[in-house]
Amino acid sequence: MGRWRNYNPNPAGRAVGDCSVRAVAAALGVDWETAYALIANNGFLMGDMPSSNTVWGAVLRQNGFTRHTIPNTCPDCYTMEQFAQDHPEGVYVVCTGNHVATIRDGWIMDAWDSSEEVPVFYWQKEE
C-alpha cells in the first residue's frame, strides 16, 4: 500500500532543488513563498545557504520541532514508506541525506514518490 501523496506547492511547478522549502511549507502549514522567506532569512542571518540542513532545521526548531536520529540497525532496508507506516499520527520532516520530505499523519507529502528512500534523521513536531 503506497503512502505517498503528490504535494508540490512550488508556484512554478518545479520539483528539483527546493525540497527543503516544500518540506518546511508542508510541516508548518504555510505556502511555498512563506517557507522560502523563512529559510532564506535564516540562511542570511546564519551566513549559510538555505539548502543547508542547519539552516532549514533551525526554522523547524524555532517552530516547535525536535531533531531525532534513526537507529542504524538496518541502514539500507528501512524506507520512508516504513517510517510513514510506523508514524500514522503527527508531523515529521524526514531527511535521507540528500532529500527531505514531510510525513503528515502517515502520508509522505512530496513532489515525487520518495517512499523507497532511506531516512537518516527526522524532525518531529512537539505538541
Cβ(69)–Cβ(121) under 8 Å?
yes
Alpha-carbon distances of 65 from 60, 118, 123, rounded to whole Å? 5, 21, 6
* pLDDT in the model for residue 68: 96
Helix axes 32-46, 19-28, angle to 10 degrees: 110
Counting Cα atoms < 13 Å in the Cβ hemisphere of 48 gives: 12
CB 124 within 8 A of CB 92: yes
Give the pLDDT of residue 1. 54
**Residue 74 lies in domain:** 4-125
The whole-number pLDDT of residue 75 equals 66
Burial class (CB in 10 A: 0-12, 13-18, 19+), 87: middle
Task: Report the number of distinct structural domains present in the chain.
Answer: 1
Q: What is the pLDDT of residue 37?
A: 98
Tens digit of pLDDT at every position of the chain (127 positions) = 589 999 999 999 988 889 999 999 999 999 999 999 999 999 999 999 999 999 999 999 999 999 999 988 776 789 999 999 999 999 999 999 899 999 999 999 999 999 999 999 999 998 7
Q: Which candidate, 62, 64, 124, places its Cα nearest to that of 95?
A: 124
